[in-house]
Structure 1
Amino acid sequence: MERIDIAPGVNFSRLVYGMWRLADGNDASPAAVQAKVEACLEQGITTMDHADIYGGYTVEGLFGAMLKTAPSLRDRIEIVTKCDIVAPAGRHASARIKHYDTTAAHINASVETSLEEMATDHIDLLLIHRPDPLMDPDETGSALDALVKSGKVKSVGVSNFRPWDFSLLQSSMEETLVTNQIEMSLIVPQAFTNGDLAFLQERMIPPMAWSPLGGGSLLDGSRPTLLATLKRIGGEQGVDETAVAIAWLLRHPARILPVLGTNNLDRIARIGDALKVELDRQTWFELYTLAIGKEVP
């Protein structure tokens, strides 16, 4: 599988497995989690995307329980995780209201907890999960710089930031922010024209795409013409509609890394089919036209 250089000494598989639904399945035992990771590795998918808040702050622990039973897998994967969302659940059950916290104290505590929960001595990529209106860029930037220098975190980036949020934080840092994980799909295509993607391309920063299937709405029949077109193209190329939707993102020259999450082993085994799909320019625009609901100007 193609790999993307994220930072010096850090490179990711082009397709990323997202763990946000790991706690939603009927079986989150170490054996079940390992089976999902192994199904990814068989395709060359080595990058695992987490956030401390996933599963009400439980998913990192479930993943760590698996690594404790199969520690050799740690050397075969890259771990991404996120912090700064504080919701009244799990370890933050005492929080009075959901909020963001980008103070150094919170970031450092989150990293220490993530390392312990996931039974690892380092995180390959740490992301600030959401823009914080109260962020002090000097404090947040210094905390991220120090974590990289300590070796606890190999690289840092952000998620859901607009270009100005990204620039503000980067202006106070020595380390380079290596990605922005943003929502992108045929259901949510705004990043292709609102400047979010162009900003990253200009800086040669590979973006990550969360919810690349629109949270399932791409496949639920609510957009019947778009779904039928995906199925038609998939049928022509021997893959399903999911693979075509992901290939649409891969076709873009920004080197997008889609983050895909499913608990179904059969679907996990087919994630790599997206790399088999070839979309010419007109077919890409055919899908884009259906995505935006009108002919391009």
Structure 2
Amino acid sequence: MENNMTLSSPVAGCMRWGKWGANFTTYDYRQMIDQCLLIGVNSFDHADIYGDYTTEEEFGEALKEDKTIRPQIKLITKCGIQMLTENRPEHSIKSYNTSKKHIIRSAEQSLKNFGTDYLDVLLIHRPDPLLDPEEVAEAIQSLKIQGKVRSFGVSNFLPHQVNMLRKWVQIDYNQIEVSIIRTSPFSNGILDNCIENNIVPMAWAPLGGGLLTDDLHPHFRSISHAAHLLSEKYAMGLNEMLIAWLNTHPAGILPVIGTTKAERLEQAKKAASIKLTREDWFFLMKAATGEDVA
């Protein structure tokens, strides 16, 4: 499927750049951003809650050092989860909030954190059982009219949830968990729904959360064996092979690589242009599921 994508493949996942991981300094953020741009990765994935509501602002401090950076990059962020943290003492329980007031307030706080006047993509972080599609649509319409949000999408939404919401508002992205150890989107309709509605799927944890260094998965050995064989055939590393496997799907999956190492993003970028043969794709799928297709 051809998508009019403006985001890079891969997308740099920033969840672990701050308090939840590497504890980057402003200098570290700037260095990482510069390295990403140097290798052609211009898209950065955030959420308001990352780092207990601190990572967006830390990233924004790095952007303030050079005003020429912002036009070169795409900022993605998510809202809708209310976390229990000392940074939000008004929250009494972890919950979801997709009310019009909360979406607008969250988006405007993200704009302040990043030190910018627009977000390239705003996503609803999780399906909310209390989601009112009219309220969401009103919030997004208001933000778009003001130029504060350019594209809208969802994250972790199933097809029926996407279809319900898109009757009120255009959905451009769905960020989902899909990888060699999370193959259900290939059969449960999520990726079919993306193709049908011209929605770009983004894949979080596209490498299976460190699968090839962890033997807890029931098909670890078969996946590892198959990936090694194919990595030799295509002359690429194991991680690149798993990105190429996702890239082969016609939905146009954008991998979100959650790393603090620019070289891993560079490897993923090289793999993003490679597609496997059909038989090689099914060879890896069989390794992951333990079964031939019917």
TM-score normalised by structure 1 residue count:
0.92
Cα contact 1:83–1:129 (8 A) shared by 2: yes
CA distance in 2, matches of 1:19, 1:284: 29
Residue equivalent to 1:45: 41
Kindly provide the CA deviation profile for residues 51-71 of structure 1, in whole angstroms up to 9, marking residues without a partner as x.
111121111011101101122
Q: Give the match for residue 179 of structure 1.
A: 173
Mean CA deviation greater in 56-65 or 268-277: 268-277
Report the residue type matching 1:69 in the other structure: E
Structure 1: gaps spanning 5 or more residues: none
Residue 201 of structure 1 deviates from its aligned partner by 0.7
Partner residue of 1:231? 228
Show CA shifts across 1:35-83 (max 9, x none): 2222222221111111111121111011101101122111111001000
Does the CA-based 8 Å contact 2:9-2:272 persist in structure 1? no
The answer on whether the counterparts of 1:181 and 1:208 sit within 8 Å (CA) in structure 2 is: yes
Matched residues, percent identical? 39
- Which amino acid in 2 is paired with 1:233? L
Aligned to 2:255: 258
Matched, 1:5 2:4: yes
2:76 equivalent to 1:80:
yes
Q: Structure 1 residues 274, 219: closer, same or farther in 2, change over 3 A? A: farther
Q: Distance in 1 between matches of 2:62 and 2:12?
A: 16
How big is each residue's C-alpha offset from its partner over 1:239-296, in whole Å with a ceiling of 9 and x where there is no partner? 2100000111100111111111111243233222313544111000000111122111
* Alignment match of 1:108 (pick from 104, 109, 114): 104
| 8 Å Cα contact 1:36/1:268 also seen in 2 | no
TM-aligned CA distance change 1:205 to 1:94, over 3 Å: same
Moved more, 86-95 or 189-198: 86-95
With CA pairs under 8 Å and 6+ residues apart, which has the higher RCO, 1 or 2? 2
Cα distance in structure 2, aligned partners of 1:276 and 1:107? 35
CA distance in 1: counterparts of 2:32 and 2:43, whole angstroms: 12
Match of 2:266 among 259, 264, 269: 269
- Shift of the alpha carbon at 1:178? 0.5
Root-mean-square deviation (CA, aligned residues, Å) is 1.7
Moved more, 273-282 or 13-22: 273-282
What's the TM-score once normalised by structure 2's chain length?
A: 0.93
Q: How many residues align?
A: 289
CA-CA distance at 1:125 after TM superposition: 0.5
1:96 aligns with 2:92: yes
Structure 2, unpaired ranges of 5+: none
The separation in 2 between residues aligned to 1:178 and 1:157, in whole angstroms, is: 5
User: Given that residues 237 and 277 in structure 1 are in contact (C-alpha distance below 8 angstroms), is that contact kept between their aligned partners in structure 2?
Assistant: no
Counterpart of 2:182, as a letter, is: V
